[in-house]
Each structure stands twice: as C-alpha cells, then as structure tokens.
Structure 1
Amino acid sequence: MAGRKNRITLIILLLVTCFGCKKEAGEIIMRVNYHTVTCTGVGPGTCLLVQTGEKLNSDQWEYFYFDNSIQGFDYEPGYIYTLSVDMEKITNPPADASDTKYTLIKILAKEKVN
C-alpha cells in the first residue's frame, strides 16, 4: 500500500513539475505585430513585437530581435501574422547570438491593419 501511495505521489509531482516547465523546443504558435520598434540588444537595432504561449491574443507583446530572425519568414509591415514556428535549441551558440533557432513551418493567418 505504501509503495502505491509513493508512486501516485511521484506521478503527481512529475505532472505538476511538467506544467511549470517552459517549452524548450518544438512547434509553437507565434503572433507578429504589424509594426516594429527600436530596441537595444548587443547594440541598437529593430525588433519585431511577438506573442507566444499564454500571451497569445492579449495586449502583451515581447521584443523579438531581427538578428534572431525566423528562417523562411519575410516580414511585411502593416500585417499581423499568426505563424506556426519550429523552435530549436542550439548547443554552444556564439557568445553574442541566441541559443534558439526559429524556422517558419506555416503562415496560419495574415491580417491587414489600417
């Protein structure tokens, strides 16, 4: 009986831990705003404004540096995009580069903004 309780407790702990995990790789849905902003990373630059995860379809946007571009995606100002993107962790990236590679899988929506 004690062994069964321990297994159930372990399973519950694993599930709770997994729900708290940040997605490290795989397909994600990303929204890209219709305009860019000036930002500073390694130096001054231009950033896309994006939403992922719980921030999708909210009023919260995060900076996405052009240096860390989405391969296969040609951004055109004036549209809000909903994208399916493959996110892949890079082992041992250069010191001034992102540790994540983003590749466009599919444009799910492209909405014109006036």
Structure 2
Amino acid sequence: MNTKDFFGILLMAMFAVVGLTACSNDDEPKDSVKEIRMQISAETGVMYAWGDDKKENPIECMLVMSEDNPGVWEPLGFGKIEGFTYERGHEYYLSVRRTILANPPADASDRTYSLIRILEDRVVTEPEVPVDEEITSEEDIEYHDLCPFEKYATSKGYIVDANGKIFYDDGYGSSLPSYDNARIWLEDVLDKGDPNWVKFESVPYMAMYSFVLSPFTDDIRLVSNGSHGPMFKDVVPEDEFTRIQSMQSGEEVRYALILANVYKKGLQKLEFTIKKQ
C-alpha cells in the first residue's frame, strides 16, 4: 500500500468516526424544559426521604399544585425551587421553569424547578378551628397514646408594653413582630435518646392544633398551629390583648396550651405568662 492510499483510508476512517459520534449525540435523550404556573399553599405538608419505606421520619415540606396536575396538592421540599424562598403563612402563584431530566439520579426526582417570577404573594390568616361542643373543660380533652409527653417547648413568658409591643421575657428584651404577625413558636426538644423517639416524630405525635386555656374565660378554643406554632393573636384575641395592655405594671396572667395532633387528641400541656411592662 502506498502512502497516498494509506492516508486516504485513514481519512475515511476519521470521517466515519465523526459521523457515528454525531449520530450518537443526536440519538441521546434530552432534558425537557417548559415554563409552567405553580401554586404554593400557605399550609405546609409532610414528605419522606428516599428509602424511608415505613414512613417513620416525616419531613415538613411545601404543598404545590402545578398546571400539569391540576387539583392535586403534591409535596415539594423547601429550597427545591431555585431562586425562591418560601415563607410560612404565604400563598404564592409562581411562574417557574420546569426541567424534566432525561437522565435523573437514581435516588432523586426526575425534575427540577427554578423561579422565573412571582405572580402573586398573599398572606393568609390562619382561621380559628371550631372546638368539639363536648369539650367544655380541660378534663374533656382526650390524650393520644403514650401522651402526655415532653416533646415541645416554648417561651415561658412574654412582656407587653402600653403600645402593644411584645417582648420575650427572657432577660434579653428581644421583641416579637407586631401583634398581627407574632407567632408562639414551638420547639421540638425531644431527646433523641428516648426509646420512642422515632415513633414520637411520626404524624400522630405532631402538634397540629392547640386547645387554648385562657385566664379571661372558661371557654376552650381550638386554633391551628400552622408550621411551627399558633399565631399570637389566635391564642390571645384582640379583646384579651386590650385587657392585658390596660393591666397595672408588673401584673401578669397565665395561659396554657394543650397541644393536639391532627385527630385533635392531646399531646402535652404548655404554660406561659404574659406580663404588663
């Protein structure tokens, strides 16, 4: 074979390889990208990690409804919409870029989302939940299995000044947001060494509601806890808050919350004071 023939064959082989590579790239599946509308609920939901087949470790998440699956609220983790920060108590209507991955990871979703723009952002007031007419006293509240137990904690006290500003009675003087936006935060303080820790982290042991025991009335109200605790104004309605503002300096009142699960069965009792500055 002469040199001319050799280089001719080599050139043809190179063209063949390039051609095969081009065909291979054209045949590879590609990601599907589409702009869609998505609604985000003011309420949060619960989801479970990959591999948690027994659903023993619920994870709080967003609830979303997309235009390609109308009428169905689906769980989506916080931070799963790139460029979007969810705030509890807000209902959103978004334009997002949805990417369906051609080759998704084995242990993850086949789609990703990124924010294009927020079309609507609305603050939703958490409504008061009607209490069972048969519950007229603390003794009428039925506790759930293994309850009461010490899973949650909250601030032991609050201070209110004459202008209606609310402070933590913690020695640091840190303030809460306005009366309309303040929340009584519930902190999960359950020791992971507890033999029932896994069970206590399941949905039946989550504080979805609070029975409010007020120093100003014998009536028991049931309020929603939202994501991390009830709104201050739901626990201390405006007429009671006005009475607290009119108290003498140093005078205090004591409230109690009986936390309850989704079935409105008691979990534990928390008490806190509100003092007039």
Is residue 65–residue 72 contact of structure 2 (8 Å, CA) maintained in 1? yes
- The structure that has the greater radius of gyration is 2
CA RMSD of aligned residues (A): 2.0
Q: Distance in 2 between matches of 1:67 and 1:82?
A: 16
2:44 match: secondary structure: strand
1:103 aligned partner: 114
Deviation at 1:63, TM superposition (A): 1.9
1:87 match: secondary structure: strand
Residues matched between the structures, number = 87
CA deviation map 1:54-109 (0-9, x unaligned) = 62xxxx44223217710000000111100000001223221111111100000000
1:35 aligned partner: 43
1:26 aligned partner: 34
Is residue 44–residue 62 contact of structure 2 (8 Å, CA) maintained in 1? yes
Q: Distance in 2 between matches of 1:38 and 1:89?
A: 23
Structure 1 runs of 4+ aligned residues shifted over 4 Å read: none
Find 1:45's aligned residue among 59, 63, 66: 59
1:35 match: secondary structure: coil
1:82 aligned partner: 93
Larger relative contact order (Cα-Cα within 8 Å, sequence gap ≥ 6): 1
CA deviation map 1:29-74 (0-9, x unaligned) = 000000211222414322211112262xxxx442232177100000
Is residue 46–residue 65 contact of structure 1 (8 Å, CA) maintained in 2? no
Is residue 78–residue 86 contact of structure 2 (8 Å, CA) maintained in 1? no
Q: Give the share of equivalent positions with the same residue, in percent.
A: 37
Is residue 79–residue 85 contact of structure 2 (8 Å, CA) maintained in 1? no
Is the alpha carbon distance of 1:33 and 1:88 closer, same or farther for their aligned partners in structure 2, counting shifts above 3 Å?
Answer: same
2:37 match: secondary structure: strand
Find 1:91's aligned residue among 102, 123, 129: 102
Q: Give the gaps of 5 or more residues in structure 2.
A: 1-31, 53-57, 126-277
Find 2:74's aligned residue among 59, 63, 70: 63
TM normalised by structure 1 equals 0.67
TM normalised by structure 2 equals 0.29
What code does the residue aligned with 1:31 have?
Q
